[in-house]
Chain A
Amino acid sequence: MGLKEFLNKIAGRKERLSHSECLQMLNMVIDEEMDESEEFKSHLNVCMPCYEKYKLDKALKAMLKAKCCRAEVPDGLVEDIKSKISGNIIS
């Protein structure tokens, strides 16, 4: 019995997500464009490369959000915009 068959057997599922299907779904799951289906989760449980990619992409997304700190809005920008708009209304 091959490893894949063995893993399928112990996971008790016949219908499984293929490796490439899982990779196609990864971005969409990470971006919350689709829910993590049971098939997706069970593929991750048995597929180390997909699991590593999932962990990495998720970590990267979180780090981007946390570490790409926002540039400070320069002083006076908000006031400039507001005064130009008020000028527009008056004129």
Chain B
Amino acid sequence: MAKNSYTEKEKQQVFNQEFMPHVNSMYNFAHRLTFDEDDAKDLVQDTFMKAFRFIESFEKGTNAKAWLFRILKNSFINDFRKKSKAPSKVDYQEVETYYNSDEVNTPITTDLRAETVHDLIGDEISNALNSLDVDFRTVIILCDLEGFKYDEMAKILDIPIGTVRSRLHRARILLKEKLSEYAKQMGYLR
């Protein structure tokens, strides 16, 4: 990657003006990955330290948020996920073949309807999201909560755009299945 040469003052400026405004989104992402306040804090701090250390790889005015999310995601995989007792795994082959299978043509996989979704409160949606496997959870967070485009997600996650699409597709099906379960428990659905 091309190196940019910044003076100490410029580094500080880039850091404060382009990186720090994303601290809320970063913390939210870290919290949804780790489910722990202290771990999320460590992960965010660690990400900002790395961003500062490698600031010369960052070109001023480019997509700082995507760059920071990529560092955070890599730190999570390398440092935090290893600590986890039961690291979750996605069967990627299954995901890849899924999108090309007939299942994609099934219009509604659950009996959940838009009207029912409106009846759900935030906790149920948040819990359903948190119940997803980390790889599926991540694509929903990046796309629906943070508004990243597919090409940005591909760069953040180091996966092809086709995989972003298939993983998102599968994640939404799983999310709807979970919400459908909640809706049934609460009597919104029979």
On A, residues with C-beta under 8 Å from B are 19-20, 23-24, 27-28, 31, 33, 49-50, 52-53, 55-61, 63-71, 73-74, 77-78, 80-82, 84-85, 88-89
CA distance A78 to B32 in the complex (A): 19
Closest chain-B Cβ to A64's Cβ sits at a distance in Å of 4
Chain B at the A interface: SS class: helix
Closest chain-A Cβ to B27's Cβ sits at a distance in Å of 5
Known: A52-B114, A58-B114, A77-B27. A64 touches B45 (CB 8 A): no
Closest chain-A Cβ to B22's Cβ sits at a distance in Å of 11
A-B contact pairs, 29 of them (CB 8 A): A27-B165, A28-B165, A31-B168, A49-B108, A53-B108, A55-B113, A56-B113, A56-B117, A59-B118, A60-B117, A60-B176, A64-B140, A67-B120, A67-B121, A67-B122, A68-B125, A68-B126, A71-B31, A71-B37, A77-B23, A77-B41, A81-B44, A81-B49, A84-B48, A85-B15, A85-B48, A88-B49, A89-B8, A89-B11
Inter-chain contact count A-B, CB under 8 Å? 117
Known: A53-B108, A71-B40, A85-B52. A33 touches B125 (CB 8 A): no
Closest chain-B Cβ to A49's Cβ sits at a distance in Å of 3
CA distance A51 to B140 in the complex (A): 22
On B, residues with C-beta under 8 Å from A are 8, 11-12, 15-16, 20, 23-25, 27-28, 31-32, 37, 40-41, 44-45, 48-49, 52, 104-105, 107-108, 112-114, 117-118, 120-122, 125-126, 129, 140, 143-145, 147, 149-150, 165, 168-169, 172, 175-176, 179
